[in-house]
Chain A
């Protein structure tokens, strides 16, 4: 079955530690995204990538970093510089990322990160 996997489902970290969230897709999609979801707020875009070895900051990139070394993988690192890291993190992918047209994005199951 094609889809997006995220691991782990739950993650607990102490404040001051960096943590990396995994995202893998086997949909052969070019574009991948990271969002965070907080209660009462819409999904907010952290980073996105149109192709391998290229990625762009989204609306709330501060305190986060990403890499795109393979088409299938787009890991997100939450650094100690992120002031409020506790949230539900969602990875998504889409066929392409075009300027004139948006394609539907397919989401993974999410990772709930708790930092204390």
Chain B
């Protein structure tokens, strides 16, 4: 069965303390790996798409990487405004399979 698992469930960081979020996937014939940011009560905001193992993409303090079994979202020197839930999704036939997310809190 296709599955996406994110860890940790929650992460608390001090401002400037870099860390990584993990997304492990078992999706048959993965058709893309997607990262989203979701603020409370709002729809997910698209961040990155990765299609091939070894691929990396960056946006401001965020960098996403992909291997054959997992993806990482690296957060460098986070700020309080980076606090949100980060969702990972694997592309399967005709749909995306979402993980349950990592709730990130960055304290000043």
Contact with A along B30-66 (1 / 0, CB 8 A): 0110101000011111100101000000000000000
**Per-position contact with B for A86-100: 1 when CB-CB < 8 Å, else 0?**
000010100001111
Most B Cβ at <10 Å: residue of A43, A59, A100, A101:
A43
Contact of B46 with A105 in the complex, beta carbons under 8 Å: yes
B91 CB-CB contact with A under 8 Å: yes
Q: Do B42 and A109 have beta carbons less than 8 Å apart?
A: yes
CB distance from B17 to the nearest CB of A (A): 26
Bound-state CA distance A107–B45 (Å) is 7
A57 to B46, CA, bound (A): 24
Among residues 70 to 103 in chain B, which have CB atoms less than 8 Å away from a CB atom of chain A?
A: 87, 89, 91-101
Contacting B at CB under 8 A, from A10-64, are 33, 40-45, 48, 56, 58-59
Give, as a whole number of angstroms, the nearest-CB distance from B76 to chain A: 23
- Give the docked Cα–Cα distance between A103 and B7 (Å): 24
A106 contact set on B, CB distance < 8 A = 46
Could you tell me if B100 and A40 are in contact, using CB atoms closer than 8 angstroms? yes
Assembly CA distance A90 to B87 (angstroms): 14
Inter-chain contacts of A105 with B (CB < 8 A)? 34, 46, 96
Q: Which residues of B contact A43 (CB under 8 A)?
A: 44, 87, 89, 96, 98
Q: Is B4 an interface residue (CB 8 A)?
A: yes
Q: Does A84 contact B (CB under 8 A)?
A: no
Q: Is the CB of A100 within 8 A of B46?
A: no
* B43 pairs with A108, CB closer than 8 A: yes
Q: Quote the shortest CB–CB distance from B10 to chain A (angstroms).
A: 12
Q: Nearest CB to that of B48 among chain A residues? A: A104
CB-CB nearest 4 A-B residue pairs: A102-B91, A107-B43, A42-B98, A102-B32
7 examples of A-B residue contacts, CB within 8 angstroms? A33-B95, A43-B44, A43-B96, A90-B43, A101-B51, A101-B91, A104-B32
